[in-house]
Amino acid sequence: MTAPHDDHDHGHDHGDEDWPYPHPKQPDLEDGPVSEHMIMTEAVAELLIDKDIFSAGELREMLESIDSKSPAEGARMVARAWTDPDFKARMLDDVNAAAEEIGIDAGTIPIRVMENTALVHNVIVCTLCSCYPRLLIGLPPDWYKSRNYRTRMVREPRAVLAEFGTEISDDVEVRVHDSTADLRYMVLPMRPDGADGLDEDSLAALVTRDSMIGVSVLKPDNQK
């Protein structure tokens, strides 16, 4: 496998054709009213560039890197774990190191993967703020950061999961993992039935972001 984005030829304009969620577009800066916080952001960026803390080019590269992170990276790890038990063992031991093996930079903050089984369903939350394995599955969705999700997931996870259309049978234990600034989690979803004979890329295409958060499970006929 080559480095994660060597094979990207799209323009990083959020061209994620495989992004399975509706995305209401926000207006560009010029289109809407300018807020104090937007002005502050621009002023801080300019001052840090003037002070040689970072260059304009480094800021641009970082923006491109943020845009290039998508659930596809996490999905690639999940598909590899499904097809390679040794890789799965290493991933369960150390996600960041396992990511590096296949050319994915998962950053320096430890990420732990929680494996779903026929007996245990895992789901992640950050009750304090919004910690999330963003280097593997992109920026968190708004609802992950919302008060209701953060408040209720640790208290009534089955009810919250049901709102996402995910009914967990009573004989399956639900484990909720609360992330922090020092430790993040991702979920290793169960491989859907009927996905036998698919190669790793086709398997990766079945893996959704929400299944790696744990608010959904992969269905046999999952067409994203």
Partner 1 sequence: MTDSDNKASPLPSAPLSSPGPRHHDMGGQGMKDAGPVDQVEHDYAPWEKRVDAIMRLVSDRKRKLMTVDELRRGIEDLGPGAYEDYSYYERWISSITNVLIEKGVLKIDELGRRMEDVRARWEQAK
Catalytic-residue membership of 55:
no
Catalytic-residue membership of 126:
yes
Q: Which is nearer to partner 1, 49 or 195 (CB)?
A: 49
Question: How many CB atoms lie under 10 A from the CB of residue 179?
Answer: 23
- Least distance (Å) from partner 1 to the CB of residue 173? 19
- Least distance (Å) from partner 1 to the CB of residue 8? 17
Smallest Cα–Cα separation from 19: which of 10, 28, 27, 31?
10
Catalytic residue, chosen from 35, 55, 129, 146, is: 129
Give dist(CA 135, CA 104) in Å, integer: 9
Smallest Cα–Cα separation from 209: which of 131, 118, 144, 127?
144
- Contacts of residue 34, Cβ cutoff 8 Å, sequence gap at least 6: none
- Least distance (Å) from partner 1 to the CB of residue 90? 23
Catalytic residue, chosen from 65, 68, 70, 130, is: 130
Give dist(CA 72, CA 137) in Å, integer: 7
Positions in the binding site for partner 1 (CB under 8 A): 14, 21-30, 34-48, 51, 53-54, 58-59, 62-63, 66-67, 108-109, 125, 127-131, 139, 141-143, 145-156, 160, 163-164, 178, 181-182
Q: Which is nearer to partner 1, 87 or 164 (CB)?
A: 164
- Least distance (Å) from partner 1 to the CB of residue 199? 30
Q: Which is nearer to partner 1, 1 or 181 (CB)?
A: 181
Question: How many CB atoms lie under 10 A from the CB of residue 182?
Answer: 8
Q: Which is nearer to partner 1, 7 or 23 (CB)?
A: 23
Q: With residue 177 as reference, give the H or E element that holds it.
A: strand 173-178
